[in-house]
Amino acid sequence: MTDDKRENRACILEVIACTVEDAIDAECGGAHRLEIISRFETGGLTPLLDLVREIQSAVKLPLRVMLRESDSYEVLDEKEIEKLCAAARELNAMRVDGIVLGFLQGRKVDVELTKRVLACAPNLKATFHHAFEETKDKFAAIEVLKSTPQIDKILTRGGNGNWAEKYSLLEIYAQAAQPAMKILAGGGVDAEAIKLLKKKTSVREFHVGSAARADGAVSKELAARLAEAARGGLKNYD
């Protein structure tokens, strides 16, 4: 595929939102999907479900909601697991677009826990988040996740280094994940990274946090700049 044909394929911009105001400004700026979290500074924890309901009422965008009770990727406490399951059941009833999770055990995907939580939200799709970066064998992790039908996206920054160094690895991940899953590029993504990845890879979903924020909140203007970089509409969006 030529670079021109790559660049013309439809893209999805996902913006992190922590408040109703974040969600509204992201939508106004041109975001295609939101990830709803609390505690942005920790990488995101489960938000209050009342907040999710308020955001559902305020915007028309698909919502993916974080399920994470601590800053650890390993969950050992049954009480914590029950909280995750309870939140998953409520989100399933709310019919959000999906949930965002990532559980590890010994630097491998915790398959049992992942399936247990997903079973509580049988109507929802899921993104496996940055816990992927901590897995020992990324390609083994991709194969495990492909065997879990609800998981349709893996959020990854493609390792360390700058985007010019990382894009080839993201493309390898994208090819390995097909056809069951898509790679959602995130972790320091900005407008220049989006342009580079559009040109050099088949990755067409971009997850942004800090690049869309000013003074601790989503900026409509910054979101619009990112949406411009990702322009391509919603054709082919599933």
> What is the C-alpha separation between 47 and 38, in angstroms, rounded?
5
Does residue 172 sit within a domain?
Answer: no
Instruction: Tell whether omega for the bond before 149 is within 30 degrees of 0, i.e. cis.
Output: no
pLDDT of residue 9: 63
The band of 26, judged by pLDDT with boundaries at 50, 70 and 90, is very high
Residues 222 and 212: beta-carbon distance below 8 Å:
yes
Helix (H, G, I), strand (E, B) or coil at 45: strand
Average of pLDDT values for 51-70?
Answer: 97
For 146-169, the pLDDT digits (tens) are 999 999 999 999 999 999 999 999
In a domain, 140, yes or no: no
Where does the pLDDT of residue 229 fall: very low under 50, low under 70, confident under 90, or very high at 90 and above?
very high
Q: What is the pLDDT of residues 172-211, one digit of tens each?
A: 999 999 999 999 999 999 999 999 999 999 999 999 999 9
Is pLDDT above 50 for 237?
A: no
Average predicted confidence (pLDDT) for the chain: 93
Q: Does some domain include residue 196?
A: yes
Model pLDDT for residues 72-125, shown as the tens digit of each residue = 888 779 999 999 999 999 999 999 999 999 999 999 999 999 999 999 999 999
Give the integer Cα–Cα distance in Å for 178 and 165: 22
Query: Whole-model pTM?
Result: 0.92
204: domain range? Answer: 3-126+186-229
Domain count of the fold of the chain: 1
Contact 97, 125 (CB under 8 A): yes
50 within some domain: yes
User: Would you list the DSSP string of 86-154?
Assistant: HHHHHHHHHT-SEEEE--EETTEE-HHHHHHHHHT-TT-EEEE-GGGGG-S-HHHHHHHHHTSTTEEEE
CATH code assigned at 96? 3.20.20.380
DSSP 38: B
In a domain, 197, yes or no: yes
HSE, side-chain direction, 13 A CA sphere, residue 137: 8
Residue type at position 238: D
Half-sphere exposure of 45 (CA within 13 A, CB side): 11
- What digits encode the pLDDT tens for the residues 133-142? 999 999 999 9
Res 3 pLDDT > 60: no
Q: Is 15 helix (H, G, I), strand (E, B) or coil?
A: strand
State residue 234's pLDDT score.
37
